[in-house]
Structure 1
Amino acid sequence: MAAATARKVRDAAILKADSSRNEETTAWCNRDLVPLPPSRRTWGWFNFFGAQSLGALNVATWQTPNTFLTQGLSVGQAMAIIVVSRFIVSLFACIIAWCGLTWHIGFTIQNRFTWGMRGAYIPLLQRCLLNFIWNAIQCWNGGKLVTVCLTALWPSFKQIKNTLPDNVPTTTSEMVGFTVFWLISVPFLFIRPERFKKPFFISSVGCGVAMLAMMIWSLAVAKGVGPVFYKGETVSSTSRWSVSWLMMAGLNQAIGQKVAGMANESDFSRYSKDHMAFVVGTVSVQWIVGIFVSLGGLVTTAACQIIYGKIWWNPPDLMMVMMDDGKGSSGARAGVFFLALAFTFAILFQNVCGNAVAGGIDLAGVFPRYIDIRRGAIITFLATWIIQPWQLINRAATFVTVLSSFSVFLAPLLGVMICDYFFIRHQKVRLNHLYHPENSDYWFAHGVNWRVIPCWIAGWAPTIGGLIVSVGGMSSAPDALFQLYYTAFFTGLSISFTLFYVVNLIFPVKGAGEFDPYDDWATFTPGEAAKLNIVPNDNAEELPHIRLGASGYDPDSEQSRQELGLKS
């Protein structure tokens, strides 16, 4: 009886596949891992603009200049770091995304032709861990904004009695805000990525308007900006590090904060209708909008320095001060409520897409039979309660530093990915071999490409020492360890890229530069197939012609009803 029940549970848990739509559910494949057909590639440049905006229109970007100013750099030097780092992030985001734009596969599958079908679990598990932790931290940050909203509605909420034990490093009001944010986020986990476009647009515009309104208000009230805006360089001549090294460290840190998202750009670029849609949408936000958000945060903070006589870099803290200074008036509370609400929904959709959905995609690659994007996203969100972000944020100040420094491991990963796709395989991939291990060129030795692992380790081995001494506060460590760590992104990527190229020259891989002659998955439009020199599938589709901001689906069609889990 128990065995029969277990079989029924297992059969119910196995994902169902629609073979008429070229879907499979195997140990290596499910509907969210197959190359996306044109009907699911619905994102245009403006949709990527909205999606990427959530990575720029947020608290972290707003606060970025503070990091560099507190190290003694001038405002000009801090902004120079932001401009250069965001250009580099935009460049590598497009490079990594190119495979998804061309072959319509994500990070999960992309790594199989580099690491091997089993070896790909190494980068996947790294990404899963990061997604779990960053999702939990972003939920906590979103909860802080919800706390501001609740305080604006009911001022007495701020004085709510703390009923939590002394060993819990947070308060009842913060936990209420966190719980509300978590609950509000859950319904959005059931929306498939190809249907995220309207929420992206609304939340990004709302947050952009809120930031602009906050800056205009502060300038109007202060009638100028405070001393922090004109801050000059204050690095002492006796400092251990010169300005050049501080700027290099800042550049590495700024890139490191974005490298986790850069690594899995293919997960989202595969939803693009064409290459330029992704490039224009991504560069316009990651570089241009990101720069203006950081500058806007600096201007607003400098103006508020005059108004309140103190520097407030963190928007939730500043909003609380704005309510206090307004003596709790209805006007001050209403303004703060709408500001906090706009920030809340921006961080909500950024977290759902950038962490929960990304986590769902990675988990789907680890357990294809049982987990799709939706189930994986739900698991990632449930893990928030196990990780307990209030413990990480409030007790372990160095923990977030460690997470931001994960570029030590991810930069070498980018190095081997770029080298393999562009220089070893010359942008040619055998899609069938990515999903069927039998006689696959990507099975290598027992499912692992032995060439990549030592090249990846060689990329982070020289910089891991600097990470350890930096986090451990070992100031007496040799300068060389710190300097290698301050160049971790460039050092790790370059070493792994070069070694992987040399190793593949000495030990060539089988099938490099080859591709399937026929489009078995009905992935490509006739035009795309002609460019790739592939025979198109008999059931090949054209890309849908949709208006700006539309979802790409007819809500009354049978396909859309199946997507939404509705009965026809």
Structure 2
Amino acid sequence: MSMEVTTYMLASSLIAGGMNWKQAVGTILLGNLIVLIPMVLNAHAGAKYGIPFPVFVRASFGTTGANIPAVLRAIVACGWFGIQSWIGGQSIAAMINVLAPATVAMPAVIWVCFLGFWALNMFVVWRGVESIRFLQGISAPFLLVMSLVLLAFMVSKAGGFGPMLSAPSHFTSTSAGWRFFFLSLTGMVGYWATLSLNIPDFTRYAKSQESQIVGQAFGLPVAMTLYSFIGIACTSASTVVFGEPIWSPITLLGRFHQPLIAFLALVSILIATLNVNIGANVVGPSNDFSNLNPRLISFRTGGLMTGCIGLLMMPWKLMASHTNYIGWLVGYSGLLGPVAGIMVADYFFIRNKVLDVNSLYQRSDVYGYVSGFNPRAIVALVCGVFAALIGEIVPTLKPLFDYAWFVGFFLSGALYVALMPKAALSAGRSQ
């Protein structure tokens, strides 16, 4: 999941924002080490009890209230679906531009390609996600190979790694550099905020706690940092070659006068984007929407809802610039950070890692709370989200927004612990 275009663009946005390559790599590594902590903690229940995220979150929010964090996660996934569809549409448009240069001056091309790629995703959802199983086996390796080809080409054009990586940071003051660093760090954490919640969906299949911890500790920071370096290096090279940092690989490929290389690279982006979009941004929200009312909302209907909401979120605006992209990551981290804080607090501090699995699948008193909702969790969630996002509206509280995930995570977690009486929560210990 680290081997995708949005990872490249996340890294390149730091260079476009003014960092040098060392600052960018350090920010990415630190952000991934930080988000690894809640990811490993939330993964514990999946590995221990074999339960997925929608079931695990019932312990803290209630059997019915669990739909609240599930829908929050689903809405964020819808936004990512729209973003990936926009990237796929851009790739198709860029391929057409390579084959027919006259189309560069036709603005309608990008919109036709975008809507066409969106429709292709909807067709796959209708046919069933198994229809792209073949792509899942080749997309990441294919994209990695083509990314390395792009890196080699840019290194050659820039005259080697020396000129490419010698560019200094472009901040006018130390305070400006630190502000961008903390905003970017929150964006790094926000990038994996959804997976830090639903990681039990994957670790429920882990053989042991050791395997999930070691696997994540190696897989996330190492793979993410190494692949991000490609984006950082290519964007740094674009400054040397073209006189400006080009953060989008699609735009960068469009500057090439090597039609074959550009075409193959764009094909790899298209394949990887289709694979990631279906696997990461359709399955989860489709199941979440279906879970709201299984009789009325099937998986197919949930998938169509995902696609339509993704359109309504206007991904072309979210991806209009690197600042919009980072702002998107920081903004939704303020929604999901509080959920992660409540889940960690409930499992480790309130329940001491003990769950009554049978009751999680029933409308029982153990996790029923008040008509299926845990009002304490909802209060903690609302307070955390409010504190994390209020800075976007009130300028004097802007630092709270810059640290949105951290503010929401710690505030909601602490409030939840303060509000929940342990004595009243002794989940069954007879497993």
Instruction: Determine if the alignment matches structure 1 residue 415 to structure 2 residue 341.
Output: yes
Q: Which runs of 5+ in 2 are unaligned?
A: none
Q: Does 1:377 align with 2:303?
A: yes
- 1:385-441: CA deviations, max 9, x gaps? 55554466569x85972454121121111111011122222223223322321x431
SS of the residue aligned with 1:296?
helix
| Deviations, residues 181-228 of structure 1 (Å, cap 9, x unaligned) | 224334543687799775333100001101111111222343314756
In the other structure, the counterpart of 2:368 is 443
Partner of 1:319: 253
Aligned residues: 431
* Counterpart-to-counterpart distance in 2, 1:247 and 1:394: 21
Aligned to 2:279: 353
Q: Write the distance in 2 (CA, Å) between the matches of 1:337 and 1:425.
A: 54
- 2:81 alignment partner in structure 1: 135
Of 485, 505, 509, the residue aligned with 2:424 is 509
For 1:500 and 1:340, locate their aligned partners in 2 and report how far apart those are by CA, in whole Å.
47
Aligned positions of 1:179-198 closer than 5 A? 179-189=115-125
In the superposition, the TM-score normalised over structure 2's length comes to 0.88
Q: Decide whether aligned partners of structure 1 residues 374 and 431 sit closer, same or farther in structure 2, where only a CA change above 3 A counts.
A: farther
Output aligned runs, 1:85-484, within 5 Å. 85-160=31-106, 171-189=107-125, 199-225=135-161, 229-237=165-173, 241=175, 243-272=177-206, 275=209, 278-322=212-256, 326=257, 332-385=258-311, 387=313, 389-390=315-316, 401-402=327-328, 404-437=330-363, 439-469=364-394, 477-478=395-396, 481-484=397-400
Q: Deviations over 1:313-341 (max 9, x none)?
A: 2111111110xxx2xxxxx2121111011
**Change in 2 beyond 3 A, CA 1:123/1:285:** same
Task: Give the C-alpha shift of residue 285 in structure 1.
Answer: 3.5
Describe the superposition over 1:75-95 as per-residue Cα deviations: whole angstroms up to 9, x where unpaired.
Answer: 322221111001122332222
Counterpart-to-counterpart distance in 2, 1:399 and 1:213: 26
SS at match of 2:294: coil
Quickly say closer, same or farther: Cα 1:433–1:191, change in 2 above 3 A.
farther
Q: Secondary structure at the match of 1:405?
A: helix
- Asked if structure 2 preserves the Cα contact closer than 8 Å seen for 1:226 and 1:305, the reply is no
The code of the aligned residue for 2:293 comes to F
Q: Contact 1:356/1:378 (CA < 8 Å) preserved in 2?
A: no
Structure 1 distance, partners of 2:127, 2:212, is 21
In 1, distance between residues paired with 2:207 and 2:272? 24
User: 3-state DSSP class of the match of 1:451?
Assistant: helix
Q: Which has the higher contact order (CA 8 A, sep 6+)?
A: 2
Q: Structure 1 residue 139: deviation in Å?
A: 0.7
The counterpart of 2:401, out of the listed 485, 488, 500, is 485
For 1:311 and 1:204, the matched residues in 2 are separated by 25
- 2:117 match: secondary structure: helix
Aligned to 2:63, the other structure's residue is in SS state: coil
Q: How far apart, CA to CA, are the structure 2 residues paired with 1:339 and 1:253?
A: 27
Structure 1 residue corresponding to 2:410, chosen from 484, 494, 503: 494
CA contact (8 A) 1:224 1:303 kept: no
**Counterpart AA for 2:274:** L
> Partners in 1 of 2:389 and 2:293 — Cα distance?
30
- How far residue 276 of structure 1 moved from its aligned partner, in angstroms, is 5.1
* Alignment match, 1:57: 3
Which amino acid in 2 is paired with 1:463?
Answer: A
Higher-Rg structure is 1
C-alpha distance in structure 2 between counterparts of 1:175 and 1:149, whole Å:
14
How far apart are the structure 1 equivalents of 2:325 and 2:15?
22
